Each structure stands twice: as C-alpha cells, then as structure tokens.
Structure 1
Amino acid sequence: MFTSFHKVFIVAAFLLTACGTKKAEEAPAEEEAHDPNVVELTSEQYKMSGVQVGQILSINLSNYIKANGTIDAPPQMHVSITSPYGGIIKSTTALEGKFIGKGQVVATLENPEFIQIQQDYLESSSQLTYLSQDLKRQEELVREHIAAAKSLQRARSEYNTMVARVEGLRSQLRLIGISPASVRSGKFTSRVSITAPIGGYVTHVLSNVGKFVSANEVIADMVNTNDLHAEIKVFEKDIVRVQKGQRIRFRATGDSIERNAEVYLIGKDIGADRTVDVHGHLTMPPRNLLPGMFISAVIETGAAATPAVPAEAVVQAGGKSYIFILEEGTAEKHEEGKKEEAGHAGEGKEGEGEGKEEGPHYTFRRVEIVAGVTENGYTAITLPESFKAGAKIVFKGAYDLLSKMNNSEEEGGH
C-alpha cells in the first residue's frame, strides 16, 4: 500500500518531469541565429514596398580597361625662358600663374658686354664700307694693268672677311634683341628685353631683380595649356586591347565631371613598373584642368554581351556592391500558409486566436557582386560562383530592402 508520503513524492516527480520536458521543448524555439544578409517582408509589406523582381539580363555594354594617369602638355608647349648672354636682372614681369602672351617682355637684362658688341658692329660696318670701295679701286687698277692681280686678291680677301664679321655681329645683336639699324644710327644700350617665345602661363620663376644670370640659365618656365592631353599608364597585360581612336573617359582628382578623350598614340616601350604610356587627345579641353593633375581613366575597348541588371538594382554598403535575390519558395510557402489557416478557421475560438499571427512571407538575401560599367541605365555585374541560374533578382526597391536590413541590425536583428 502506498502511504501519503509515497503519493506526494510521485506527484512531485511527475510535475518536475513535466516542467523539464516543457522547457526542453521550448528551448530551441527561444531564438534562432539572425542572418545579417537576409531581410524578410510580410505580404502586406511586400505590396506596400513596390518591389519588382526579374532575372539576369544579357546586354551589350562596353568592355573597358581601368588605368591611372596625369594631365600633361606636349613638350613643344613647355618653354624655359633663357638668355644667350649673361647679365643682371633689372626687371621682371614673371609671376607664377600669370599669363604672358607671345612676344611680351618677361624680363630685362643688363650687361656692359652688350655695348661692346654694338661698338664692334658699328666699327666693322664702317670698315666694310672702306674695304668695299678699296675692292672696286683694285679691280679698276687691275683692268688697266696698273696694279698686280695679287693686290686685288688681297683686297677681295679682306672684304670677304669683314663681310663675315659684320654678319656675325649683326646676328648676335638680333639674338639678344638689339636692332642693328638702331646701332647704325648711334643708339647704344646696355639693356635687352627677354620676350616669351609662346603664349602661356608661368609655372616657375627662377630669378629675381638684381640677380646675375649666366648665359642660358633659366629665368622662368612657361606652359601653353591650349593643347592638353591625357597621359595614361596601361599595364602590359591590357595593352594589346588598346587601339588608336578608342574612347577614354576620365575624372581629375576632386572633379565631379567625367570628361572624354581619344587614344591618339600608344607607347612602344614598357616602363619599370610594367606599364605602357598611352597618349589621349582631349575632345574638348577645359580651362580648369592643369598639367600634372592626377586622373582616373577608363578606356573603352568595345561592346560585348555581358550579365547586367538595372542600375538601381545595385546597392552600395561598406564600400562593396550588392544585389538582392528572392529566396526560392518563399511566395509559395506564403500561399500554403494561407490555405492551412483557412482549414483551421472552424476549429473554435482558441484555434482562431493562435492562427492570427502571420510569419514572414517573402525572404530576400543580399549577395555581394562586382559592379562594372554603367550605361543607359544598366550596370554590368560579375556574379559569385555560388549564384544559381534563374534566380529572381530585385530590380526595383533594392535600397528599401537595404534600409530595412540596416534598421533591423540596429534593433538587434529582430
């Protein structure tokens, strides 16, 4: 016979076993691990979001090569201002960033030697006049057999020597910017003007007033920006795809505007960094670009069919590109759930109360991709190897899903 103590013990054991079983059953359902790449929408949320899905498209988009480079000017547009003779700088108009037109004065130079050259020229010119007259006289005397032919030869030699001297001095005067006619009129000067051989902007000033500059020492540097070009460095593995006439799209550092150029010349030498120089002519040279500016460029090498999606289907997060795909069977599971609800509708009030809470109906997964060129509203993409053919991709509403995903992460993944 069981005593009262035995009955109490059995009841207590039964209750403990029941509680343990209930806790064991509820434990797995407490909380499932949250997948940070998944976002879920109920049927009502799906309708309100306006999400539209589709499959990967095959569209002819440009193939391209990414490269870096600089804005530059041709060598003939870079000029160093020098003087063929040394002297002291007496004045200068050179200022970095200033535009100086062709033929305008950059600096004035003073040197006493300039006076000596002018004096030598004037004296030599006078002697040349005398020797010219003497040559004519000797020719007349030889014709009349009064003088020997040797005298005529000496006179002609002296005259030719002086002609060469005068021409040399005249060239020196013109080289330093002094007019020979002015010297013949008796106007001597110890100062000369150094003028700009081209129109352009001063980039470097290497002299100042009072400084002595030697012959051919650089006074200032100038550049003409009317013929800028893009100098791009292309890696050797890509150079075989580059051809003359291809389009170049580039952006300068800090510039929000995309500009265009055209491949004009392709280098024939590989540099130490394993790149080849590609010279591109700018289609419309803008005034705000300067030589030396760093640029990021894309060379279009032709069009080919490539996997693509609408541009709005690609979202950016954390410096990476993503698309959203609709998980297989989520819509079908939703329909099955509705049928099961309808089947339990007449089981009583308790059944109705339990069936009102709806679970997620549409599940979307975020997938990382590599975004390529964007043209005419479509973006070329490179898909991961795990991507399943025929998967439904969110074409419209991707940023809404990304926003909901970010909000869910802030709330702790619930």
Structure 2
Amino acid sequence: MMKRTQYAFGLCAIVAAAAWYFWSILPVDETVSQKVLGPAEQPQTDLLELTAEKLASAGIEVQPVTLHAMQPTRTLPGRLDYDQDRHVAIKTACDGILTEILAHPGTSVTRGQVVATVVSPEVGQARSQVQSRLADLSLAQTELGRNEAIREGVEQLVEMIRNQKSPEQIESELQDASLGEYRRTLVAAYTRQLLAKEVAKSSREAAVRGAIAGRIQSEREGEQQAAEAALASIADSALFDVQQKCKRSEADFASAKREVDISLQRLNALLGPAAPRATEQTFDQIHSDTISNVDLVSPIDGTVEERLSAATERVRAGDSIFTIADTSTLWAIADIRQRDWDAIRVSPGQQVRVTMPAIEDETLDGEIVIVGRRVDTATGAAPLVARVRSTDGRLRPGLFLRMKVPTGPPRPCIAVPEQAVVVHENQSFVFLADNEHQFHRVDVTIGAKEDGMTEIVRGLEVGDSIVVSGVFTLKSELLLASEGE
C-alpha cells in the first residue's frame, strides 16, 4: 500500500513539471500582457519631460525638418602642390660667373626685382654688336632725313620755276631750304632761260622795225628754246635724282633697322626670360663697366622657395639659380583610380571641397582646373587638379588631402544637422519636441552625410520639430530614466 502511494505522488510530480515546462515555452500574447499590465503600468522610457532649470542649462534648440539638396560625392586622396602657373625656376640662359646673390629662401620678392647677377663675356660681345648696329641706324636715319629735306626743297624750287617766279622771289622764299647742289644748277639754268627769253623778246621788236636781220632773230629764238629745254631737262633730272636718293636712303635705313632687330634678338636670346628684355630705348642705360652683366629678375610676385647656386660659381646655360613661387594659390592634386573613372563626372570650373588632416576643422573650396587623362604608370591613377586659395600661409605643398568630388546631380531629401542625430546600441535616433518641456525619442534610418547635414531615409517628415542643440543632455536623461526602471 505504501509503495502505491509513493508511486502516485511521483507520477503527479512528473506531470506537474511537464506542464510547467510546456507552459513556459509557449508565446505570450502581447495584447494579453498589456492588458494584464494596464496602460498605466507600461514603461515610458522614450518620453522625457524636463524642468525649466534643466532646459536652461541644457541649451535646448528646436528647428523644423526641411528638405535639403544633397549631392552624391566620392572622396579622393591627394596632395597639395605648387600652382604650376605661379611656380617658376630662375635659370641663366648663358654661360658665365654668378657674381651676386640678392635673395635667399623665404625672402619675399616682387615682379621685376633683381635677385642675382651673372657676368657673361658672350653677352658683352652681343651688346657691343647692338651698339654698332644702333650707330649704323643713326647714320642711316640722318642720311634719310637729309635726302627727304632736299627732295622737298627741289620739288618746291621746280614748282616756283614752272610758275615763272622771279629769281629774287625764289631766293627770298627758299633761303633756308635744303637744296644741296641743286640750288646752283637749277637757278643757273633758270637764269639762262630768262635771259634767252628776254633777248629774244628784244630782238623781235628790233626785227619788226628792220633794225636786225631775220636770221639773227631766228638764232636768238633758237637759243631761247634751247635754254627752256635745258631747264626742263635739268629740272626732271633733279626730281628723279632726289627721289631715287630718298628711296635708297629708306632702303638703307630699313636694312640698318633689321640689323638692329637681329642683334637685339640675339642678345635677348642670350639674356633669357629671367633677365630684363633689351630694347633700343633701354640701351642708353648700358655702361662700359657693366656691359657683360646679366641681371636675373623675378617674373612674379612670390617667395624664394629654393636657392640652387652660390655666389662665385660658374654657371652654364640652363642652370637653375632659384625657385620662386606665389603660394597665395596652390594646386590640390587628387588621384582618380580606375574604379572611380566612370563615377566621377567633373569639368574645369566646377567646385569641389578639400580637407586636410593636418588642418582640422577647415574645409577649402577648390575650382577644378585640370581633369587629367594620362594615367601614371607608377600609381595607376589620373590626376584631378583643383586650385585652392591659401590666405594665412598654413597650406604647404606636400600636405596630404582629401577631395570630395561630385558623382551626380543634387537631389532633394529630408536632412537634419549631424549633431541632431545620436546613436545608442547601433540605433540612430533623434528627439522630437512635443512642447516646450516634453520630448520623445524617434528612431531613424540615416543615409548620406554632406556639409554637416545627415540624410534621413526613414523616421521623419517635413515639418517635424526636432532638437538640434542639447541633444546629448536629452540622451543622458533618457539613459538614466531607462536604468532607473
């Protein structure tokens, strides 16, 4: 009997244990659970209500959610380099001796400032040749001026002779004119023609009265005609002669001018682009003791970045003396890898954003100047060059950078300031303001980030009022409330 009783109790215990196990693994109806707990008993950990004192200390700021134009971008690595349009090497174009250094690395220079002097015998010979050619040009110019003055005088004299002006009037009006030998020959021929004309006129009256024979009258009229023909011939010859002399003088002057230009070009080729250009006007400033000197000048406003030679050194044509750069603008050169070629669509003139780890909290605006096509065989990348401004001198060539390049057109989307979004246990959320004192958490799904804004893919609508300042205070209060429960 006792054994049966123990067996019955054991069987009941086994049945009770099995029932408890199956009941524990069955799903609990949430509705039933809520009904059991009741609305007043549900934990409200997503809802916060702050006192006026906490609101003041937290610095809560609220703003409505709006649409924001966001542009897809790709971030490329790169480095700063000199602006190649404002980076020059000062080179000597001739052999010589570097006699004077007038600038040093770090020195600021202005355009046209002399930075070094080279003495070159070759330049001295070229300058001497230019001086000889200038002297020949001066003689040719004087000769041309003289012949042009004589031509004008002869033309004026011939015109007065043809108008039958008296010798006295001619002498008076042309007293200061340049006529050369033509004054004597033309005036003498004109005087003979006037005399023959007067004699023929007088004998003609005598022949009418029968005072002289007709033969004599004919001879005197022949002499008049011969004198007129001789005068016309001398006048024509004089005009032709002075015109030809002027043409020859013009040709000689042009030839002398070409020789000067050729000698100046030869000299400027020896001086090179780093020296002031030699011209006819500046040649008067050359003295015999400096005829072989070559002044090297800076072609831009900038800073001496590097000095490559020292005073008293012998230099050869093409040797670099200085490197000068204007660092007010620099080139940001990013690498476009093969995987990014199809995605990046930029052209010169577009704007990009440049950041550098060495300079925190600063974003630079850059303008695309070159979209490279040649791929570097060493890196497998093509260059993308943007020009950035350096106003405070903190940017230095060689610094590592990141360039944010657009890969598509802007698109409108819901976006909020980055500081409005907080994360806890891998879940992003924001705080919506129900009123001035009450806030509640809203989980969101975020998308792209750009210029301090975060795209909200899901969780918010335009017009929602969210907290944008004092968010971490609300997060702390929320976590404390959760721990308290």
Inter-partner Cα distance in structure 1 for 2:67 and 2:444: 23
- What amino acid sits opposite 1:101 in the alignment? T
Deviation at 1:116, TM superposition (A): 3.0
Q: Percent identity?
A: 19
Match of 1:379 among 454, 458, 461: 454
Matched, 1:115 2:115: no
Could you tell me which residue of structure 2 aligns to residue 61 of structure 1? Answer: 68
User: 1:210/1:9 Cα in 2 relative to 1: closer, same or farther (>3 Å)?
Assistant: farther
Matched, 1:192 2:294: yes
User: 1:126/1:191 Cα in 2 relative to 1: closer, same or farther (>3 Å)?
Assistant: same
Taking the TM superposition and a 5 Å limit, the aligned residue runs for 1:124-203 are 164-170=258-264, 175=271, 176-177=275-276, 180-183=283-286, 185-203=287-305
Give the secondary-structure state (helix, strand or coil) at the position aligned to 2:288.
coil
Match of 2:321 among 212, 219, 222: 219
**Contact conserved, 1:60 with 1:304, CA < 8 A, in 2?**
no
**Contact conserved, 1:65 with 1:238, CA < 8 A, in 2?**
no
Give the secondary-structure state (helix, strand or coil) at the position aligned to 1:256.
strand
Could you tell me which residue of structure 2 aligns to residue 254 of structure 1? Answer: 358
Inter-partner Cα distance in structure 1 for 2:67 and 2:407: 13
Inter-partner Cα distance in structure 1 for 2:307 and 2:14: 95
Deviation at 1:200, TM superposition (A): 0.9
Could you tell me which residue of structure 2 aligns to residue 88 of structure 1? Answer: 97
Give the secondary-structure state (helix, strand or coil) at the position aligned to 2:97.
strand
Matched, 1:104 2:113: yes
User: 1:118/1:314 Cα in 2 relative to 1: closer, same or farther (>3 Å)?
Assistant: same
**Contact conserved, 2:345 with 2:408, CA < 8 A, in 1?**
no
Inter-partner Cα distance in structure 1 for 2:265 and 2:113: 21
Q: 1:34-93 CA distances to partner (integer Å, 9 max, x unpaired)?
A: xxxxxxxx847555576xxxxxx9732122242446666765423221222122333434
Deviation at 1:288, TM superposition (A): 3.2
Gaps of 5+ in 2: 27-41, 51-63, 151-178, 186-236, 433-439
Give the secondary-structure state (helix, strand or coil) at the position aligned to 1:216.
coil
- What amino acid sits opposite 1:215 in the alignment? A
Give the secondary-structure state (helix, strand or coil) at the position aligned to 2:309.
coil
Inter-partner Cα distance in structure 2 for 1:135 and 1:243: 56
Deviation at 1:230, TM superposition (A): 6.2
Inter-partner Cα distance in structure 2 for 1:388 and 1:60: 11
**Contact conserved, 1:118 with 1:188, CA < 8 A, in 2?**
no
Deviation at 1:199, TM superposition (A): 0.6
Give the secondary-structure state (helix, strand or coil) at the position aligned to 2:126.
helix
Q: 1:114-170 CA distances to partner (integer Å, 9 max, x unpaired)?
A: 33334444555566667878999999999899xx99999999988766554445445
Could you tell me which residue of structure 2 aligns to residue 206 of structure 1? Answer: 308
**Contact conserved, 1:92 with 1:208, CA < 8 A, in 2?**
yes
Deviation at 1:25, TM superposition (A): 7.3
- What amino acid sits opposite 1:181 in the alignment? D
Paired residues in the alignment total 343
Inter-partner Cα distance in structure 1 for 2:328 and 2:70: 31
Match of 1:296 among 378, 403, 422: 403
Taking the TM superposition and a 5 Å limit, the aligned residue runs for 1:351-362 are none
**Contact conserved, 1:247 with 1:300, CA < 8 A, in 2?**
no
**Contact conserved, 1:228 with 1:285, CA < 8 A, in 2?**
no
Inter-partner Cα distance in structure 2 for 1:261 and 1:271: 25
Question: Structure 1 residues 106-115 or 124-133, which shifts more?
Answer: 124-133
Could you tell me which residue of structure 2 aligns to residue 239 of structure 1? Answer: 345
Taking the TM superposition and a 5 Å limit, the aligned residue runs for 1:287-366 are 287-290=393-396, 294-297=401-404, 304-309=411-416, 311-315=418-422, 322-323=428-429
Inter-partner Cα distance in structure 1 for 2:137 and 2:422: 87
Give the secondary-structure state (helix, strand or coil) at the position aligned to 2:93.
coil
Could you say which structure has the higher helix fraction?
2
User: 1:317/1:258 Cα in 2 relative to 1: closer, same or farther (>3 Å)?
Assistant: farther
RMSD: 6.1
Inter-partner Cα distance in structure 2 for 1:74 and 1:164: 40
- Structure showing greater radius of gyration is 2
Q: 1:336-373 CA distances to partner (integer Å, 9 max, x unpaired)?
A: xxxxxxxxxxxxxxxxxxxxxxxxxxx98977633423
Q: TM-score, normalised by structure 2?
A: 0.48
Gaps of 5+ in 1: 30-41, 51-56, 327-362
Q: TM-score, normalised by structure 1?
A: 0.55
Taking the TM superposition and a 5 Å limit, the aligned residue runs for 1:38-57 are 43=43, 46=46
Could you say which structure has the higher strand fraction?
1
Give the secondary-structure state (helix, strand or coil) at the position aligned to 1:215.
coil
Deviation at 1:197, TM superposition (A): 1.0
Give the secondary-structure state (helix, strand or coil) at the position aligned to 1:219.
strand
